[in-house]
Amino acid sequence: MARDLSDGRGAATGESGGRAARLLADLERAGEVVTDPDVLASYSHDQAGPGMVAVGRPAALVRPRRTAEVQAAVRAAARHGVPIVPRGAGSGLSGGAAAIDGCLVICTERMTDLVELDPASLCARVQPGLINAQLGEAAAGHGLRYAPDPASFEFSTLGGNVATNAGGLCCVKYGVTRDSLLGLEVVLADGSAVRVGRRTRKGVAGYDLTALFCGSEGTLGIVTEATLRLMPEPPAPATLAASFESVGAAGAAIARISAAMAPAVLELMDRTTLAAVERMAPQGLDDEGIATLVFACSDAPGAAALAEVERMAGFCEAAGATLTVTTDEAAEGRMLMNARRQAHPALERLGATLLDDVSVPLGAIPALLEGVEAIGARSGLTIGTFGHAGDGNMHPTIVYDAADPGEVERARAAFAAIVELALELGGTVSGEHGVGSLKLPFLDDELGAARPLQRAIKRALDPAGVMNPGKAI
């Protein structure tokens, strides 16, 4: 049972308090309604670096189970002029799900049905709260795979993945979320529900609204169902790890591999990240000659996988690799890749982290890595870089003390310098995490004259501006 928001919080006063009370009285059909201040606080932020984005106090949280309940919540918020913040698991890294003062958080985490899995048509229909890994497990039962694999696959929702167009390790070969998205059901800002897209593999009738909603970060509507493409489970991969004395040599190897073949994984870790991983789990990564490690996989059938990673090893050696290791043993491959998977947790052990996700053209990777090293030296902060080298999508991760205002400021300045460097190199402010509110200040520099057009699209779909205002666009 909802209760008056002004109880014990002291936030909802005057006009905003009255609006909140009217909203609550109007939410009967919106599923579970939560106003407990402690619960609201835990649903008010995402995983963006502490102190880096504004976090407001929501008026209420609803956790619907059905599309009709989402519609009721959106209609109530629209009637009372209350901003809506859509939310999945809250694992976003750019403040996209951060609450706005007096907002209604509509969290789709309880909409967890796998509505349909159709092995003959290689597709699945899911509610938005289903976790990425849960779809993966269900698909594996039919010898199938859902390709997009953000590192958060065990806890992020498919609705959140669609809303951010999430990427991951396998995207270099199999594409990002949008490439696996066939259709959507979306609740629009006026509370109407619309179906866009289709379940066929091909289809060009009308504008591609499915692609438009994908990556719109909850600013155009709330995803209540997604039709997703599945693929046959690829064969077990063979794996390569190669070490380099310079980022330039690693960059040259990445360029050669990318020009010659389509690796299933092509990742990179810099010296600072290697040192952090070594500190967390000693495994000999701190040898003098290792400045950068490159990891690659091939999932070609049978013996072709090992042959392909050996060919990649040849490219690495020609580019100056100091050591290459290849294997088609599953356990050994997992062990090699484990160092890469430990990158983010290892950096998190050093302090608060501000994880960036700039993306640059492949040829600019060495310039980006060298530039980030220089920014780290200037700022006096630890910045470890790892990421999806085959996509040019890097995660320079700034370590800082969130309790020290001076250090928070220096982290913010270093972050801005990295984003500006990526833009100078012809890159983008966000390769996969989304703009949220964290990257909004840099958007003009990337979108330029196209930003008014983007805003016109937002106004056409959300004229009153209730859907996640102040985010993404």
Ligand X SMILES: Cc1cc2nc3c(=O)[nH]c(=O)nc-3n(C[C@H](O)[C@H](O)[C@H](O)COP(=O)(O)OP(=O)(O)OC[C@H]3O[C@@H](n4cnc5c(N)ncnc54)[C@H](O)[C@@H]3O)c2cc1C
Point out the residue whose Cβ comes nearest to ligand X: 160
Shortest distance, position 141 Cβ to ligand X, whole Å: 23
Q: 167 vs 263, which CB is nearer to ligand X? A: 167
Phi/psi at 192 (5° precision): -80, 150
Identify which of residues 164 and 239 has a Cβ nearer to ligand X in the complex: 164
Neighbouring residues of 66: CB distance < 8 A, sequence distance ≥ 6: 31, 111
Residue with Cβ nearer ligand X (51 or 150): 150
CB 184, min distance to ligand X, A: 9
Is 200:227 a contact under the CB 8 Å cutoff? no
Nearer to ligand X, 93 or 296 (CB): 93
How many CB atoms within 10 Å of residue 426?
11
Distance CA 180, CA 14 (A): 47
Minimum separation from the CB atom of position 286 to ligand X (A): 24
* Amino acid symbol at 29: R
DSSP string, 394-427: EEEEEEE-TT-HHHHHHHHHHHHHHHHHHHHTT-
Nearer Cβ to ligand X (85/383): 85
Q: What's the min distance (Å) between Cβ of 156 and ligand X?
A: 4
Interface residues with ligand X (CB under 6 A)? 46-47, 85-93, 96-97, 108, 128, 150-152, 156-157, 159-161, 163-164, 166-168, 217-218, 222-223, 344, 432-433, 468, 471
Burial class (CB in 10 A: 0-12, 13-18, 19+), 38: exposed
Alpha-helical regions (H) of 217-261: 247-260
Describe the strand order of the beta sheet including 104-107 as a list of residue ranges. 32-34, 60-63, 104-107, 84-87
CB of 194 to ligand X, least distance (A): 13
Decide whether 271 or 471 has the Cβ nearer to ligand X.
Answer: 471
Query: In the complex with ligand X, which residue's Cβ is closer, 166 or 252?
Result: 166
* Nearest-approach distance from CB 148 to ligand X, in angstroms: 8
Query: Which amino acid, residue 447?
Result: L
Closest by CA position to 134, among listed 221, 228, 197, 48: 228
Q: Shortest Cβ distance from residue 98 to ligand X (Å)? A: 9
> How is residue 231 written in tokens?
């693929």
Give 34's strand partners.
61
- For ligand X, the closer CB: 26 or 432: 432
Shortest CB 394 distance to ligand X, Å:
12
* Helical pair 365-379 and 405-424, crossing angle rounded to 10 deg: 160
Write down the residue that tokens 């897209």 correspond to: 197
87 DSSP β-pair partners: 107
